[in-house]
Chains A and B, each alone.
Chain A
Amino acid sequence: MGKQTMGFSSQALNCRADQKLYHLQTPQTPIVRTKAYEKYCVDDYPLGTNAIVAVLAYSGYDMEDAMVLNKSSVDRGLCHGHIYQTETIDLTEQSAKSDRAQRLFRRSNLDKSSHQLIDSDGLPYVGQRINPNEPYCTIYNEITSQTTSLKLKGSEPVVVDYVAVDVKNKMHLQKANIRFRKSRNPVIGDKFSSRHGQKGVCSQLWPDIDMPFSGVTGMRPDLIINPHAFPSRMTIAMLLESIAAKGGALHGKFVDATPFSNTMKEGESESSSLVDELGSMLAACGFNYHGVEVLYSGVYGTELTCEIFIGPVYYQRLRHMVSDKFQVRSTGTVDQVTRQPIKGRKRGGGVRFGEMERDSLLAHGAAYLLHDRLHTSSDHHIADVCSECGSVLTSSLIQAPKQAVQEMVGLPPGREPKKVTCLACRSSKGMETVAMPYVFKYLAAELAAMNIKMTLKLSNGAGA
């Protein structure tokens, strides 16, 4: 239940030093709940919010399991959260690895620039905001008498939430836990889910005034989901939750939703179904029996053609957030061996354009684009190939003797053509330049290591 959700996972947050802890700022208790929920006191660890959910296709931004959040609701604190991250610094561990040098936390008196961030004990101020690549802690090495600082990794600013020191060691301070806090308020791309597995990604923070509104109550939904999320998944329970929670909210009561049990009160007629019970709760308060309401377009002020199914549903914020996942690369580091862009978000790598992606471009006949992605923007290389022996590996650069004449005349050193020669043929006669992916050259080298020779037959392309 709580595995992927951002919730209220601990009552003793201030004393904890978890590696990474997701925390919801203002959780609520669900209106619709089971007996087990109460039995196990889940209310002490709530993990969601009762959001007013409207089921309609409104802006087009709710297609394909996306959902539209009301910007004003988010402004007011809907699903706001934090990440707590703890950094443990153990100096005894560090010194054991290398020399027997005595290290301790101390601030450098020479470098005044860090004084704004770091206190005299070498640890950060609680409540201080630290930007990426700024130091948060300085360590002094007594033997080399050098100060090193630990810099903040990542790409977003953090706030120092808490600093805990280990004073078991009677000597100098050797161990400290520094807890950072990052704000994680809902943004486009964050993932949310109801308790019925209806997960979706926020696609827009829609202005409140553009949201549909009820003419009677003036309510605007916190969240809009698309009706297409229901037929194939058959999560009837979510619809029932919406009706039940609406009735519960109107009557100021929690609604019991324990499965395999009769929720109907004893003595009541057996024929009445759950739906009847929930529907009459709504009707008693002057609402539609089926949970639908007439809504008006927030943009035009005219009545929407259909009646809209709207009601509170307990929504959870899931811990998959774009700010932890987005990848961007224009140019950057390349692999040493293949000269292709590296992978990995942390290292500034790219997203792989794999076989299936290649296939789709082929199917579209987008040859130029394919060439651009797989060659020009990847490991484009101009190799020297010997047309005599067909080898890519035997070319060698001739170190042209520095021409003293040119220097004396004072002419700018003009780009003279590279002199290359084939070591196998001992001649530079047949040398040609061929554009190819660098991995191809690497392949030739690997094959050569296995005693397989690769020969290229060069032609000018006009006739083979």
Chain B
Amino acid sequence: MEGVSYQRFPRIKIREVKEDFMKFELRDTDASIANALRRIMIAEVPTIAIDLVEIEVNSTVLNDEFISHRLGLVPLTSERAMSMRFSRDCDACDGDGQCEYCSVEFYLRVKCLTDQTLDVTSKDLLSSDHTVVPVDYSDVSSGFDSNSTNKGIIIVKLRRGQELRLRAIARKGIGKDHAKWSPAATVTFMYEPEIYINEDMMETLSLQEKTELVDSSPTKVFGIDPESKQVIVVEPEAYTYDDEVLKKAEAMGKPGLVEIHAKEDSFIFTVETTGAVKASQLVLNAIEVLKQKLDAVRLSDDTVEADDQFGELGAHMRGG
């Protein structure tokens, strides 16, 4: 097997980038890489989230566990997370998880003194580190309703006399351990479809039949050219591989009227983040994590055991 190379040179073409949204094409690679990227973005790119809560006073309507759980789910800006240490392998605090290298301290002290209901929000969380703060959605340019007075993520509501006082420790973690550490809101990819219309066969259809065919797809993939009255592909990526058009063609007695194939090596990714990291950064971090994982495998390749363990795969990795 020596000398056989499976190396490919994947390309990425970015289509759209916003603070918390990104759409890109990934080409010249296969499903394993695309899916690895998706899985890592969801579960293995580290972020920072509240992990330990010490409650001093809680006279609110929600119990301690409930509030702790809610605090954990608040996304914190985590640009620092990649360079931060995991508490479990931090030398500075012996796994205590309370030193500056591996944790960020938060305080929350709110008491309601008026008759009006007081909302405790993520903005009331005071961080000891200005780089790690609850995500502020008001200055995110995309999507969110910015004209409504943005007050952050609501944690609990207080009535007169109720109080909440606590200290929280945020730590680095990954989505595999707990979903609160996942930076991804949605990561998905689809195979790029290739759609062929058999023009000759299409000519045999009446305009009404053409309209029926176009309407059979739940998404707007096909259209009718207003001038030539021909069926054209309007938006190939709207196709969801539902086979509705193929079934319709079959039902009309014209199999092969439309042919659709999925390109095995082209993927269209959609990435949305919680705001913990920027969408573009999330993709880069994911690639970084994937590299680290591969390095861990490659590091052990000169040992005999690794050769035995990986067999032919080891040879591939060495030979390239």
Instruction: Enumerate chain A interface residues (CB-CB to B < 8 A).
Output: 14, 25, 71-73, 75-77, 80, 82, 127, 159, 161, 181, 183, 207-209, 213-219, 282-283, 286-289, 293-294, 298-303, 307
Q: In the bound complex, how far is the Cα of B244 from the Cα of A215, in angstroms? A: 17
In the assembled complex, the CB of A187 is this many whole angstroms from the nearest CB of chain B, namely 15
Contact B43 A209 (CB under 8 A): yes
**Chain A residue with minimal CB distance to B271?**
A218
Could you show 19 A-B contacts with beta carbons less than 8 Å apart? A73-B179, A80-B69, A127-B58, A183-B65, A208-B43, A208-B175, A208-B182, A209-B43, A214-B188, A216-B188, A216-B240, A217-B186, A294-B241, A294-B242, A298-B39, A301-B31, A301-B32, A301-B35, A301-B189
Contact A294 B175 (CB under 8 A): no
**Chain B residue with minimal CB distance to A286?**
B219
If A286-B218, A286-B219, A301-B38 touch, whether A25 touches B66 (CB-CB below 8 Å) is yes
**Chain B residue with minimal CB distance to A303?**
B241
The one of A77, A127, A217, A302 that contacts B64, using a Cβ cutoff of 8 Å: A127
The one of B63, B187, B244 that contacts A82, using a Cβ cutoff of 8 Å: B63
Please indicate the chain A residues that have their CB under 8 angstroms from the CB of B191 in the complex.
215, 303
**Chain A residue with minimal CB distance to B264?**
A302
The one of A183, A209, A289 that contacts B42, using a Cβ cutoff of 8 Å: A209
Chain B, 224-259, CB within 8 A of any chain A CB: 238, 240-244
In the assembled complex, the CB of A77 is this many whole angstroms from the nearest CB of chain B, namely 6
Please indicate the chain A residues that have their CB under 8 angstroms from the CB of B219 in the complex.
286
Contact A72 B179 (CB under 8 A): yes
Contact B63 A75 (CB under 8 A): no
Contact A215 B179 (CB under 8 A): no
Please indicate the chain B residues that have their CB under 8 angstroms from the CB of A25 in the complex.
66
The one of B63, B187, B244, B262 that contacts A218, using a Cβ cutoff of 8 Å: B187
* Interface residues as binary, B105-117 with A (CB distance below 8 Å gives 1, 0 otherwise): 0000000000000
If A76-B73, A286-B218 touch, whether A218 touches B186 (CB-CB below 8 Å) is yes
**Chain B residue with minimal CB distance to A283?**
B218
Please indicate the chain A residues that have their CB under 8 angstroms from the CB of B27 in the complex.
none
Please indicate the chain A residues that have their CB under 8 angstroms from the CB of B176 in the complex.
207, 209
Q: In the bound complex, how far is the Cα of B220 from the Cα of A100, in angstroms? A: 86
The one of B35, B179, B238, B272 that contacts A71, using a Cβ cutoff of 8 Å: B179
Please indicate the chain B residues that have their CB under 8 angstroms from the CB of A215 in the complex.
188-191, 240-241
Please indicate the chain A residues that have their CB under 8 angstroms from the CB of B243 in the complex.
307
Contact A218 B270 (CB under 8 A): yes
Please indicate the chain B residues that have their CB under 8 angstroms from the CB of A214 in the complex.
188
**Chain B residue with minimal CB distance to A129?**
B64
Q: Is the interface of B mostly helix, strand, loop or mixed?
A: mixed
Please indicate the chain A residues that have their CB under 8 angstroms from the CB of B238 in the complex.
286
CB of B85 within 8 A of chain A?
no
**Chain A residue with minimal CB distance to B189?**
A215
CB of B178 within 8 A of chain A?
yes
Contact B61 A14 (CB under 8 A): yes
CB of B52 within 8 A of chain A?
no
Please indicate the chain A residues that have their CB under 8 angstroms from the CB of B189 in the complex.
215, 301
CB of B50 within 8 A of chain A?
no
**Chain A residue with minimal CB distance to B38?**
A301
Please indicate the chain B residues that have their CB under 8 angstroms from the CB of A209 in the complex.
38-39, 42-43, 176
Contact B64 A300 (CB under 8 A): no
CB of B90 within 8 A of chain A?
no
Please indicate the chain A residues that have their CB under 8 angstroms from the CB of B38 in the complex.
209, 301
The one of A208, A299, A301 that contacts B34, using a Cβ cutoff of 8 Å: A301
Please indicate the chain B residues that have their CB under 8 angstroms from the CB of A286 in the complex.
218-220, 238, 240
Contact B218 A289 (CB under 8 A): yes
Please indicate the chain B residues that have their CB under 8 angstroms from the CB of A219 in the complex.
186
The one of A14, A288, A300, A301 that contacts B242, using a Cβ cutoff of 8 Å: A288
CB of B55 within 8 A of chain A?
yes
Q: In the bound complex, how far is the Cα of B181 from the Cα of A75, in angstroms? A: 10
Q: In the bound complex, how far is the Cα of B175 from the Cα of A73, in angstroms? A: 12
**Chain B residue with minimal CB distance to A210?**
B39
In the assembled complex, the CB of B191 is this many whole angstroms from the nearest CB of chain A, namely 7
Q: In the bound complex, how far is the Cα of B243 from the Cα of A294, in angstroms? A: 10
**Chain B residue with minimal CB distance to A183?**
B65
**Chain B residue with minimal CB distance to A293?**
B240
